[in-house]
Amino acid sequence: MSQTVTLHITGMTCDHCVHSVEKALRSAPGVESAEVSLRENRATVTFSPPVSAEALVTRVERAGYGAQWVKEPSRAAPICSGTHSGETHVAIIGSGGAAMAAALKAVERGARVTLIERGVIGGTCVNIGCVPSKIMIRAAHIAHLRRESPFDSGISAHPPDIRRERLLAQQQGRVEELRHAKYENILENNPAITVLRGEARFEDARTLIVSRADGGSHEVNFDRCLIATGARPAIPPIPGLAATPYWTSTDALASDTIPERLAVIGSSVVAVELAQAFARLGSKVSILARSRLLFREDPAVGEALTTAFRAEGIEVLEQTQASNVAHHAGEFLLTTTHGEVRADRLLIATGRTPNTDMLNLSAVGVKLDPRGTIIIDRAMRTSSAYIYAAGDCTDQPQFVYVAAAAGTRAAINMTGGEAAVDLTAMPAVIFTDPQVATVGYSEAEAYHEGLETDSRMLPLENVPRALANFDTRGFIKLVVEAGSGRLIGVQAVAAEAGELIQAAALAIHARMTAQELADQLFPYLTMVEGLKLCAQTFYKDVKQLSCCAG
C-alpha cells in the first residue's frame, strides 16, 4: 500500500541540488514519485515497501544533504483557548525585540502565537539595556556640558548638583512608559497572541513544558517554535569575585547613588558607555582593559576614544587584568598585573552569555557553540527542523535591530515563506562622546576575507561642522576595494557619528564607489558631509578646497 511522507532537506542551494536530491530519492526501490522544493527545503515522496521513510533519509544523506522525516503535526490548541484547525501554531520563548517582531509578523501571516516569558515583558533593550542606558548617558552628557564646554569663555560654567535618585525615577518612568506602549499594550490587545508566564523547556521536538512560579506547569504543543531568550552579563572566573557585591550593567543602571570611585573591568561597548556616564555624573573611574579599548575595532578607534577619556580624567589601564578581587569594609581591592586598584564599586562588563542553559536543548538536537550560543543558518533555522532562533541567544550580532529583523524573518519562514537577514551593511553605534560608529569591513576584516583594500582617514579638523562646534575629536575613515574603488567599510569617531553612519550603510548597500560618494550633494555644516570630504581625499587634497567645494 502506497504512502506519502514529507522530508525536511538541508544543504540545498541551487537547482542542481534539487536534481541531486530527487535523483537519490527516485532511485530507491519502491519510490513512485519524489518532488523536491528548494524554496521550502522539502521533499514529498510517495512510496511502497520495501523502502521506508528512514531509508529515504539515508538516501538523501548519502547524496551529501541533510534530511529529517516530518511526521504529521499535532495541532494543539493554544493554552486556555479553543481549537483553531488549519492555523499554524507558533510558540515563542521570550518577549524582547526578536520575540515581539516574530509574534506580530506570525500573526500577520495567519498564525496564532503562544508567547512564553519567565520575567518582565520586553526583554533586555527596553528594561535593562538600550533605553535606560541611553537615558543615563544623555543625562551625563548634559551634566558634562554644564560643567565644561568649548564655549566656556563666553558662557559661564556651573558644576551641576547631581540628584541621582531623581534621575533614576525619570529614567525608570520612561522605561515603564515604553514597555507598556510597545510591548504590554500590544500583547494585551492582540487576540491571536496568548501570553504564558513561566520557565520553558523542551520535552521533545514539538512540545514545551512551561513551569509556573506557583509550582504548576503547562504543556504547549507547537508546529514551529522560536527561541528568543536573549543573553545575560557574563561573569569572568576571577578569584574572589563571586564573593563580592560587584555590579553588572543591570545593577549599575538601577543604582540610585553615584559612587565616589568606580572600577570597570571590560573594554567593549557596555564598559565604555557606562564608564563615561558615571565619570560625567561624578565618579572617579578606572577602566581595566585586558588589551585596549574596543579591541575588536580598527586600532585608531580605540586610540581616539582612549585619548578622549583620558582628557576627561578617566583612567584607562591598558594590558591590565585582575588576578584577584577582594571586598572589605565597603571597599573593593583589585590585584592586577600593574598594581592595586581600589574602588567603592566594581562594574563587570566583559560581554554577555546566551540564556540557553535551562531549555533542555540537547533533548531536541539543537546545536550550540562552546559558549552555549545557538547556531542558526541565514533563515534563522536551528539544527532541529521545527525550531528557529533569533536575537542575542544566537550567533548573530547582539543588537536589538538585528534581533528584530531576525525575528521578523524567522516568522516568515515558520509560516511557509523564505527570508534571510542581510548583515553585509549592518551599522553599529557606541554611544560614548565622541560616538563610535561603524559599518562594513575594517581593513583587518577585509584582509582576513582575502580582499585587497585602499583607505583614507580624515581628521575632523577638516570637517566644517566640527570646526563650528569647536570639537574636532576623532576622524572618519573610508575603506574601499582596491581596483574597483567600491566602498566596503566606514569607521567614524565623532560627536554625532551615529547620525552619519546610516548614510554610509546605504552607500555600501548601493555598491557606490568613493568617486560616486564624493559626487553626491551633502548639506553644508553637517557632520555627514564628512563622508563626502573623506571620499574626496582619494583623489584630491581637501585642505585646498573652498567651503562646499564639489
Dihedral pair phi/psi, residue 166, rounded to 5°? -75, -40
Q: How far apart are CA 524 and CA 547, in angstroms?
A: 8
65 part of the active site: yes
Query: Residue 342: beta bridge partners?
Result: 333
Catalytic residue chosen out of the listed positions 12, 100, 393, 426 = 12
Read off the C-alpha cell for 89: 501554531
Whether residue 100 contacts residue 186, with contact meaning beta carbons closer than 8 Å, is answered with yes
Q: How far apart are CA 281 and CA 147, in angstroms?
A: 10
Q: How far apart are CA 452 and CA 242, in angstroms?
A: 46
Catalytic residue chosen out of the listed positions 1, 17, 512, 539 = 17
Whether residue 446 contacts residue 508, with contact meaning beta carbons closer than 8 Å, is answered with no
Whether residue 486 contacts residue 547, with contact meaning beta carbons closer than 8 Å, is answered with no
144: Cβ contacts below 8 Å, ≥ 6 apart: 280, 312, 433
Among 545, 370, 420, 476, which Cα is nearest to 39's?
420
Catalytic residue chosen out of the listed positions 1, 14, 426, 441 = 14
393 part of the active site: no
Among 68, 75, 135, 148, which Cα is nearest to 111's?
75
Note the helical H segments in 160-315: 164-179, 185-188, 249-254, 269-280, 299-311
Catalytic residue chosen out of the listed positions 388, 393, 447, 547 = 547
Residue with the three cell numbers 500583547 = 187
Q: How far apart are CA 208 and CA 91, in angstroms?
A: 9
End-to-end CA distance of the chain: 77
Q: How far apart are CA 480 and CA 489, in angstroms?
A: 7
Catalytic residue chosen out of the listed positions 447, 524, 539, 548 = 548
178: Cβ contacts below 8 Å, ≥ 6 apart: 126, 131
Q: How far apart are CA 381 and CA 40, in angstroms?
A: 12
Pairing, β 207-211 against β 217-221 = antiparallel
Catalytic residue chosen out of the listed positions 65, 246, 388, 441 = 65
12 part of the active site: yes
Q: How far apart are CA 278 and CA 259, in angstroms?
A: 8
Dihedral pair phi/psi, residue 456, rounded to 5°? -140, 140
80 part of the active site: no
1 part of the active site: no
Q: Write the CA distances from 138 to 134, 155, 470, integer angstroms.
A: 6, 21, 20
Q: Give the up-direction half-sphere exposure of residue 360: CA atoms within 13 A in the CB hemisphere.
A: 14
262: Cβ contacts below 8 Å, ≥ 6 apart: 275, 278, 279, 283, 284, 285, 286, 343, 344, 345, 346, 347
548 part of the active site: yes
Catalytic residue chosen out of the listed positions 100, 125, 380, 534 = 125
User: Which residues are the active-site residues?
Assistant: 12, 14, 17, 65, 125, 130, 547-548
